Amino acid sequence: MKNKLTANLGLKIASFLCAAVLWLVVTNINDPIATYRVNDVPVTIKNANLITDRGQVFEVLDGTDTVDVVTISAPRSIIDALDKSNIVAEADVNDLTSVDTVAIKFSTNKYNDKLDSIRGNIDSVKLSIEEKQTRSLPLKSITTGDVREGYVVGDVTTEQNLIRISGPKSVISQVTKAQAEVDVSGFTNTISTDSNIRLYNEDGEEIMSNNIEKSISKVRVSVDILELKELPLTCKVTGRPAEGYGFTGEVSFTRPSIKVAARSKYLTRLDVIELPEGILDVTDATEDVTALVDINDYLPANVILAEENFEGKINAVAKIEAEQNRAVRIPVGKILFEGLPDGYEAVITEPANECSVTLTGLSAVLNEIEAENVTAVIDLDAWMESEGLEELSEGSYWMPVNATTTVENVKQGNPTEVRVHLIEKE
């Protein structure tokens, strides 16, 4: 039996080797080794809390958390059973090196033990690790674009006015403002919308980083769109100027009209801005009276000023002028007699034709007066009382002429006398 097993030993070994080679050839012909390439494979970073638990944050550099190409070698039957979802790329922070890189380990979630090889075009994730910083910033809101002509942007408010941000200190330290922006182009009504919150540096450049955490990413913003209207000003003047002076009736303002804004329903019946009595008091004035007025104090509720660089302060001026004299010639036949007793006749003998009456008032008013606007009267009762007479008698007397006019704020100036001849009728 022993001789049978050992007989032709070399021939038997050669036969075994030939059989093994033949098996490998047949196997490779039926299921050859193939290569499979997968693009853009994401890398899962494991145990990242080992960094964050130390109060630090990290940022992946150069896009190394995505492997451009992963190459797999395996029998054709295995390759045919794999797709991108089966490729696993992991970087465990436990393997962090002193230069802040983490080796990438490649595998598949099935048939991993049947792979000949699996590798990527990069073999590690590069990290930037730094101290974490948290800050709170006031949240502002602004508008962009232009509302429709005839309208203006009013109050812009946000539901929240504070935001907290966290991230790498080098990034967070650059943030100087947080704001929400609303485009108001073409609007005529109030806007209420959710707006993204943007971060900016001191140069007005937006800071965009995936490593910044925001306590809120959007905020509700309300924008009042107000209608414009231009309104004139009026002001009532009180008091009387000093003797010999008069108020011309003219009130002037630094601005003859004021542009305001409000919701349309508040502007419908608003046609003028009235300043109340007492602002301009001309009592005993001998020159123009000026008052500094803040228009904001006299605007109706829900109405605001709508001019840039105008805070609302203006001067209101009441014009005061010295009174002037003007002589008006009245035909003596137009002079009336009052209190002439029955049985007497009165005739003006001097002047013969016209009597000159002096009127006092503001020049603009005096220039408009004609003789027909003046009523001239000789009051005999008043004259007799002033002369101490109890009854009339014939004779020639100088008597005053009292002149009045229908024009307001005009009075008689220097007294005028005429000679009157009294005749008792028979």
Q: What is the pLDDT of residues 75-108, one digit of tens each?
A: 999 999 999 999 999 999 999 999 999 999 999 9
Question: What CA–CA distance (Å, rounded) separates 47 from 362?
Answer: 96
Of the candidate ranges 31-35, 300-304, 370-374, the one whose mean pLDDT is the lowest: 370-374
Alpha helices in 315-369 (DSSP H): 363-366
Q: How many CA atoms lie within 13 A of 181 on its CB side?
A: 10
In this predicted model, what pLDDT tens digit does every residue of 142-188 receive, in sequence order? 999 998 999 999 889 999 999 999 999 999 999 999 999 999 998 88
| pLDDT given at position 114 | 92
- pLDDT tens-digit series, residues 347-389: 999 998 999 999 999 988 888 888 888 999 999 999 999 988 8
pLDDT range class, residue 407, cuts 50, 70, 90: confident
* Burial class of residue 266, CB neighbours in 10 A (0-12, 13-18, 19+): middle
Per the listing, tokens 């001789």 go with 3
Q: Which residues pair with 56 in a beta bridge?
A: 131
Q: What are the strands, taking DSSP E only, across 145-217? A: 151-158, 162-168, 177-183, 191-200, 213-214
Q: Are 332 and 352 in contact (CB under 8 A)?
A: yes
Instruction: Specify whether the CB–CB gap between 269 and 287 falls below 8 A.
Output: no
Question: DSSP assignment, residue 29?
Answer: H
Asked if pLDDT for residue 200 goes beyond 60, the answer is yes
The total number of residues written for the chain in this structure: 426
Nearest one of 144, 156, 123, 136 to 41, comparing CA atoms = 123
